[in-house]
Each structure stands twice: as C-alpha cells, then as structure tokens.
Amino acid sequence: MSEKTDEAVEALARQRLAGAERELSRKPKVTLAATGRGFWRYPSPWMIGAYLLAAVVARVAIGQWSWTDLLAPAVFLALFPVVEWLIHVFILHWRPRRIVGVEVDTRLARDHRRHHADPRDVPLVFIPWRALVWVIALPGIALPLGVGALVGADLAPRLSFVVTLATVLFVYEWTHYVIHSDYKPRTRLYKAIWRNHRLHHYKNEHYWFSVTTSGTSDRLLGTYPDPATVETSPTAKDLHGVNARP
C-alpha cells in the first residue's frame, strides 16, 4: 500500500469515527431507561432472561448453600475476559477458507461481518437467536450439569455456576447493545469500554477485542496498543476484505 493510499485510509477512518460521534452528539440525550426499553424489543434478552430466571429459581429451590458455591463462579469470572477474547478472535472473526476443497464459513462469522459493515444495525448487535439456543443448551446447561455429574460434583454448586454463566451472558448482551446504542457515556469505566469497542470497529479490527471490560484480555494477549501507533485498517468495515473480492 502506497503512502498516499495509507493517508487516504487514515483520513477515511477519522472521518467515519468523527461522523459517528457527531451523529451521537447531535441527537437528544438518551436516557439509560429509554435504552433499556429498546433492549427488550429483541428476542435475545428475553431468551437469556428466561434462562437466568430458571437458573436462579432452581438454585434457590435446592438450597444447601456453602463456600463451594463460590469456587466455580470465581474461576469462570476470572477466565471470562480471555474466553470472550478467544470467541471474538477465532469464532466471530473466522476467515472463510477452503478445507479439503470445501469452503468453510459459519453463520456466526457471516453475521459478525455484517455487524462490522454496519455497526448501527441494531439486530446484528445481538447474539443470533439460533446460535443462542445452542449456547444455552450446550455450555449453558449440558456441560455444567452433565459434566459436573460425571465428576461427582454436588448439584447445588453446579447450579450456582449456571446462574453465573447466565448472568455473564446477560451482561455481555446488555453491554454490547448499550455500546452500539445512542446512549452517551457518562461514567469513566463505561466510556473506556465504549471507546475501546469503537476503536475496534472504526480504527483497526485486529485490536481491542474486549467488550465487557476495558482492555483486560487485550492487555494480556497483546491486542491493546496505543491507538496513535496503529495503522488504520482499510478492512475494519469489510472483515478480511471478503466483500472486496472479485
């Protein structure tokens, strides 16, 4: 890429980011309550909410509280930023490729490319409901309950883990939705998360993969550079240049 092309790409990215922020500043202030009402217009929050409610009811019904209820959730919460990073990098940013003569591309990856192409398209912000069914059924229910039974863990702490998983899933969905909504950051923590994700969408899609935290896993895994030192990517809105292919 020539120096002139680099400058053009950089200028385009600055224009996109500035335009998006100007659009946000011109709009009337959106309250968090109004943003929340919009959140419940989509199927994903209802699905995760029902899953969370069922897990809480089951856990309370079982009782038998002990310190072991904290063990698995604590480990999961400590690992989640890395899990989130791995899913974002290797599943959502999957590059279509031919394997044994067959092109392998997933629905999740295609939907995520559409999300990058138009970050303002609200339905694309959410986990697709078909994928969410499997997320709830397999890692959400079958693994913690089934595998836990195989290793001899008591039901009560296994249900505590399910409650934690459902809560984290809900927090992820809410955080990602709010970042892409018209709600303007008002706290330092949220502004940091909001800014990181916007850098991922408008500056360079190869960095800033954290969504629910402010660069925790990115710092650990080397994808949290100083934005001023990073070249603006020409494919931030067209992941892997798929749409530009002949």
Q: Tens digit of pLDDT for each residue in 40-85? A: 999 999 999 999 999 999 999 999 888 888 988 899 999 999 999 9
For residues 79 and 217, what is the distance between their CA atoms, to the nearest angstrom?
9
What is the per-residue pLDDT across 177-197, written as a single tens digit (0 to 9) for each? Answer: 999 999 988 899 999 999 999
- How many percent of the chain have pLDDT more than 70? 87
Q: Under a CB-based contact definition with an 8 Å cutoff, are residues 166 and 51 in contact? A: yes
CA distances from 168 to 24, 49, 212, 241 (A): 28, 11, 9, 32
Nearest to 51 by CA among 123, 155, 181, 144: 144
3-state secondary structure of 97: strand
For residues 73 and 184, what is the distance between their CA atoms, to the nearest angstrom?
31
The answer to whether residue 139 scores a pLDDT higher than 90 is no
Task: Identify the residue whose tokens are 């934690």.
Answer: 164
For residues 19 and 129, what is the distance between their CA atoms, to the nearest angstrom?
31
Of residues 135 and 86, more confidence is placed in 86
pLDDT tier, 246 (very low <50, low <70, confident <90, very high otherwise): very low
pLDDT tier, 24 (very low <50, low <70, confident <90, very high otherwise): low
Q: Under a CB-based contact definition with an 8 Å cutoff, are residues 104 and 97 in contact? A: yes
Q: What is the pTM of this model?
A: 0.84
Q: Which residues of 123-155 are buried (b: 16+ CB within 10 A; e: fewer)?
A: ebbbbbeebbeebbeeebbeebbeebeeeebee
What is the per-residue pLDDT across 93-109, written as a single tens digit (0 to 9) for each? Answer: 999 988 888 888 999 99
The pLDDT value recorded for residue 142 is 83
The pLDDT value recorded for residue 215 is 81
